[in-house]
């Protein structure tokens, strides 16, 4: 942390010449692009190794998310169509086929909605004895949209003072 350009270049050269493995924890994306040959992502207690530098990691995780989103959407459409068929034909002369489709649906392994990193917002206030009237959070032009594009809100601006509660 807090290295100047010559310091960063020295560390890059050192890692490049080092014959063994090196574990790097950094927020510097350019640095990670220049030294990393694989990225390990730890999420929900699981570690996943991705080959390539940071840019390759971002590309691969975006592709994985896109693929999972498409699979989830396709399965949801399939389930909806099957349920429509079952509702329409249960009690008619096609009841046996409707019951068969219902059995198949019950055995179907449902795909979980993929978690997206975009749109997450986590705030944690630590420490803090503030003074009455002290501003602890200033928000300007906050917006939120659903993945469908529907706008929940936009242009939200507010200030939260010590001792206030916002829900």
106-158 tens-digit pLDDT: 999 999 888 876 655 666 655 556 666 677 788 888 888 887 888 888 888 88
Its pTM surpasses 0.85: no
Q: What is the rounded CA–CA span in Å between residue 108 and residue 126?
A: 45
pLDDT at 164: 80
Contacts of 69 (CB under 8 A, 6+ apart): 114
31-42 tens-digit pLDDT: 999 999 999 988
65-86 tens-digit pLDDT: 999 999 999 999 999 999 999 9
pLDDT at 2: 79
Percent of the chain exceeding pLDDT 90 equals 44
Degrees (nearest 5) of the Cα angle 100, 105, 111?
Answer: 160
pLDDT at 160: 83
More confident residue, 121 or 47: 47
Helices 95-107 and 54-89, packing angle to 10 deg: 150
Collapsing DSSP to helix, strand or coil, 50 comes out as strand
Q: What is the rounded CA–CA span in Å between residue 68 and residue 37?
A: 25
CA distances from 70 to 10, 64, 77 (A): 44, 10, 11
More confident residue, 111 or 161: 111
Q: Are 86 and 98 in contact (CB under 8 A)?
A: yes
What is the signed CA dihedral for 93, 98, 99, 105, rounded to 10 degrees?
180
């Amino acid at each position: 942390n807090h290295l100047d350009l010559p310091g960063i270049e020295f560390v890059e050269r050192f890692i490049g010449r080092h014959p063994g493995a090196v574990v790097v924890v950094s927020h510097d994306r350019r640095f990670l692009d220049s030294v990393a040959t694989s990225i390990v992502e730890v999420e929900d207690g699981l570690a996943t190794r991705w080959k390539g530098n940071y840019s390759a990691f971002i590309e691969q995780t975006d592709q994985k998310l896109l693929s999972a989103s498409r699979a989830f959407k396709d399965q949801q459409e399939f389930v909806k169509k099957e349920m429509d068929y079952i509702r329409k034909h249960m009690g008619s002369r096609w009841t046996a086929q409707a019951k068969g489709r219902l059995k198949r649906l019950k055995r179907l392994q449902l795909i979980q909605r993929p978690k997206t990193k975009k749109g997450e917002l986590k705030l944690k206030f630590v420490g803090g004895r503030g003074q009455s009237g002290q501003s602890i959070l200033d928000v300007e032009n906050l917006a939120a949209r659903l993945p469908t594009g529907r706008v929940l809100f936009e242009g939200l601006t507010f200030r939260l003072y010590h001792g206030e509660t916002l829900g």
